[in-house]
Amino acid sequence: MNFKIPNGLGDMLRDFTVSAIRANPDNLYDFAVDYFTKMRESKKSKTIPMYIIVDDEDAGEPAPETIRKKTNNHRAARRNSVSAERYDPETDHGYEDEKIVHPKTDEQYKRLKDAVSDILIFQALDRDQITDVIDAMFEKICEPDEIIIKQNDDGDNFYVIDSGTYDVLVTTDNVEKRINTLINKGSFGELALMYNMPRSATIQAKSHGSLWAMDRTSFRRIVLKAAFKKRKLYEELLENVPILKSLEPYERMNLADALCTKEYDDGEVIIAQGDNAEGMYFIEKGTVCVDITSDTGDNTMPVGQLDSGKYFGELALINNKPRSANVRAVGGVKLAFLETESFERLLGPCLDIMKRNSEIYKTYADQTS
């Protein structure tokens, strides 16, 4: 009887065997279930569930004349009809041609830039994308007791607080309860847009105030598409880092999700010798130079340069000690940053290799002492 071996079976079994030997689990069956479940999840399509507009006129979308030109008139009406559909950022090619720009004064621009810098969902965006976020936001003036969003409504806009006081209200079993109050800072409204769900709370203005709002279409095309592009870019970057070859595909995917973008200008200090370690870096684009300062501070010895695909900053994390070298940008540099809390959890399988590679830094440190 002839049997046909499925394509990829040999590679799958080999990878599983290597992982099992390395992990040496107490219960091989539980390990196998966990391993293949994670592998299946890593192979699934990376589309993002998202709302789309059914009736643009009722939804209160920006008028056509606002597309690709500046306008002050944005009708912020609440959407009456939306339907759930998967938003596939990989097939959305209209963003670059349909950017919406709402003009702002220099003072407004600065205030908004400061406000969005502390918002978690924008942490993964680069400078150009942050500019797109700020451009796409329009101002909404609020009156006392005005309902900004209502629990169980469809999601329309994402809001950043410029000024004012806002109560967060949740109704359970017909009893309304205030669970939080936002005063002059913060943001709200992203969950319904990100997770294809109704509003989870009511937001009510308690004073005169001002909000900056971004419509759902701009939100998904900037924030969600950026998240998709970031993951894809970082997965490709991590695949070319030799020490990460020992990671399983799903482990590299989790690592990619934990990275955030940091950019530095020519000559800017990325790491200063003696500082406490906050994380490690992978070079996405550009070059950095590394040098070590002597204990007396009057002598600096160059260690070398690192370019795209290389990493640095791991030594202080491995040894739980202050930074042992200076790292500066050579020209413009874009880095992927991994914070300390995620370092050991995500890079545990690579620590032995990192420890061996880190001996070069100790050699240079000895030479300068």
Binding residues for 3',5'-cyclic AMP: 190, 199, 314, 323
Nearest alpha carbon to residue 138 among 81, 205, 217: 217
Enumerate the known binding-site residues: 190, 199, 314, 323
Strand intervals (E) in the chain: 48-53, 82-87, 138-142, 147-149, 157-163, 165-172, 175-183, 187-188, 202-205, 209-215, 260-264, 269-271, 279-293, 300-306, 311-312, 326-339
Cα–Cα distance for residue pair 76/92, rounded to 1 Å: 24
Strand intervals (E) in 265-325: 269-271, 279-293, 300-306, 311-312
Identify any residues that bridge with 339 across adjacent strands, giving them in sequence order: 279
- Please say whether the beta carbons of 69 and 101 come within 8 A: yes
Give SS3 for 116.
Answer: helix
Give SS3 for 248.
Answer: coil
Cα–Cα distance for residue pair 180/168, rounded to 1 Å: 5
